[in-house]
Amino acid sequence: MPQVNATEEAPGTNLPTSTEITYDVNKFLTEEEVSQRFIDIASKYELEEPFSKEDAEFVVRYSNTAVDALPPSNSMMASRSIHLYKGTQNRSFNKSKTAQGAKVTFSGKLTNHLNAINWTGQWYKGVTTAKINSGSAKVTKVKTVVQVSTYGLLGAGGTYVGLVNNSTISSESAKKGGGVTVNYLDKTKKYNAVLPVYSNVNAYVTVSTKTGSYNLYAF
């Protein structure tokens, strides 16, 4: 594992020291704010870079797949308090939204597989449908994205958490003059990650019209 130098912001560990959410930036978030915060965190860190304490708290508390649950820990090896995880999570969704004069229904199932024992054994899959129910004449593009962010223990003592994988699969349907009615996605992607302990998978559809665009998240 890579060596990590402690900083003033995270001396010794960036893992939460409380079972409660302590940072205001992580409190009272809507479902859409949670989804956007995962995207923002994934975009501002390099792989295997330790998170700030507030971002580490968010990932630990809001991830939808975890290796059991990491308790507060100052130990030299946080991984001693967890069980190495191998398992598959399935989540289904069905949502609708109307904006920019067009209504979309977004449905499907996301599958996320973690294997902390075998670093090459990670994969995820998305099977989704984004259907324009009304206003299709205005719709020039419908794009579906499934994103997985996986977080692992870093440092010689495994006392930091950071991003160990961030990747997407996507599908797009477009007509320059408008008239897009549906977009399908059915893809699987494999990836490598060393000692993954938390993971978050989500999907969103972007509907582009002649007057603007909007997003709808699965979760």
| pLDDT one-digit tens code per residue, 81-114 | 334 467 888 999 999 999 999 999 999 999 999 8
Q: Which residues contact 193 (CB under 8 A, 6 or more apart)?
A: 119, 122, 150, 152, 164, 165
- Give the residue from 4, 104, 112, 110 showing the smallest Cα distance to 50: 4
Given the structure tokens 């939460």, which residue do they identify?
16
Quote the pLDDT of residue 11. 52
**Exposed/middle/buried for 46, CB within 10 Å: 0-12, 13-18, 19+?**
exposed
Mean pLDDT of 192-213: 92
Longest dimension (CA), the chain: 60
Report how far Cα 210 is from the mean position of its chain's Cα atoms.
30
Q: How far apart are CA 218 and CA 75, in angstroms?
A: 37
Of all residues in the chain, what percent carry a pLDDT higher than 70?
85
Determine which of 26-35, 59-68, 99-108, 191-200 has the lowest per-residue pLDDT on average: 59-68
